Amino acid sequence: MFIVVCGSAAVGMLAGCVFGQWAGRTAPDFFEHILAMPGDPIRVEPEGTARFLGSAVGVALGGGLGVLAVLVEAFYRWMETRRSWPAGARPGRPRFLWGAEP
């Protein structure tokens, strides 16, 4: 479970960083407009801000998808134990995420 959630969070971080890099280069004024304070002499770097925000959101969404995958896996295993099939009539088993047999 730990590997699935951490792996999906890492992939989400990478995807969010790439998307943030693209968004920061495509629309730099958008991020300057959002983060700039009126009268503040500090200039915000739009690409870095977009990369950071994209990575943070990517970690949250990727980790959430990993948790959802683990919950679906647990639900299928739980449903497998609740079914009572007649002898010899059990259908094929679904493939699980990491290949473990129930």
pLDDT one-digit tens code per residue, 74-93: 888 887 776 665 555 555 65
Alpha helix ranges (H) inside 1-102? 2-26, 28-35, 46-82
Q: Residue 7's pLDDT band (boundaries 50, 70, 90)?
A: very high
Q: Assess contact for 66 and 9: CB atoms under 8 A.
A: yes
Token pair, residue 79, equals 């449903």
* Encoded tokens for 86: 């007649």
* Res. 63: pLDDT tops 80: yes
pLDDT digits (tens, 9 = 90+) for 27-53: 888 877 776 666 766 677 888 888 998
Q: List all residues 6 or more positions away from 65 whose beta carbon is below 8 Å from its beta carbon.
A: 8, 12
